[in-house]
Chain A
Amino acid sequence: MTEEKNLLKKAEAGDIESIKRLANYYDKKSGRWREEPKVGESISIDEFLANADTKANEDYLAEAFKWFMRGAELGDAECMDEVGHRIYDAIGCCKDEEWTERGKKSFQWHLKAAQAGYVPAMRITAYMYDGLCVEKDEVQSFYWYLEAAKHGDKKSVGEVAKRYAKGTGVEKNIDEANKYLAMLDAEDYRHVLHALSCGDDEESLMWLERLVELDDPLALKNKAEACCKRGDYSQALELFIKAGTSDSENYDPDVLAEALFQAGNLYYTGEDTIRQNYRHALRYYRSSAKKKYIKGYVQCGKIYFDKGDYKSALMNFNLAIKTRDRYPFGSRYLNTIALEYIGRIAENGLGVDRDIEMAYKYYEAAAKDNRNQGIIFRLANDYFYGNNVEVDTAKALLYFEEAGKYSHNEYYFEANLKLAWIYELGQGDVEKDLAKADEYWAKLPPECKPARAQ
Chain B
Amino acid sequence: MSQANRLAADAPHQFGGAGLDRGKPLQFRLDGRAVMGFSGDTVLSALLASDISAIGTHTGVPMRLDEAFAPLVALRSDPTHALPLQRLPALDGLDLVTFGTAPRPQGLLSRLLRRDDDRSGSLGLLVENLSSPPWINAQPQARLDVDTLIVGGGLAGLAAAAAAKGRTLLVERRSWLGGDARFYGTTGDEEPPEASIARLSASPAAEILLHTEVFALSGTTARAHQVLLENGRPIGRIIEISARTVVLATGTFERLPVFAGNRLPGVTGAIAAFHRAERFGVWLGKRALFSTGSGFGYRLALLAREAGVAVQRVSDTRLGPNSRFIDFCKASGVPFTSGLVPRSASVAKDLSGLSVDFLVGIEGIAQDAGTTETDQLVVGGARQPELMLWLAAGGATRWAGDHLAATGPLPGIVLAGAAAGYRRAVACIASGRAAISGNAAPIDDPMIEAIYETPDGKPPVAPPVDGAPAFLDRGAALLRRPADPTSLLPGIAIGLGAVAAAVEIGAIPPAIAGQIAAERALTGGMITDTGWKLSPPPPSQQLPGYLTGRFGAKPQTCVVTSADARFFERGCLIFARSELTDPQQAVGSIIAAAPGGGIGGLALIEREASAGKTRLFVRDAGGAVPIERIRPV
State yes or no: do A and B come from one complex: no
Binding site for B on A (CB under 8 A): none
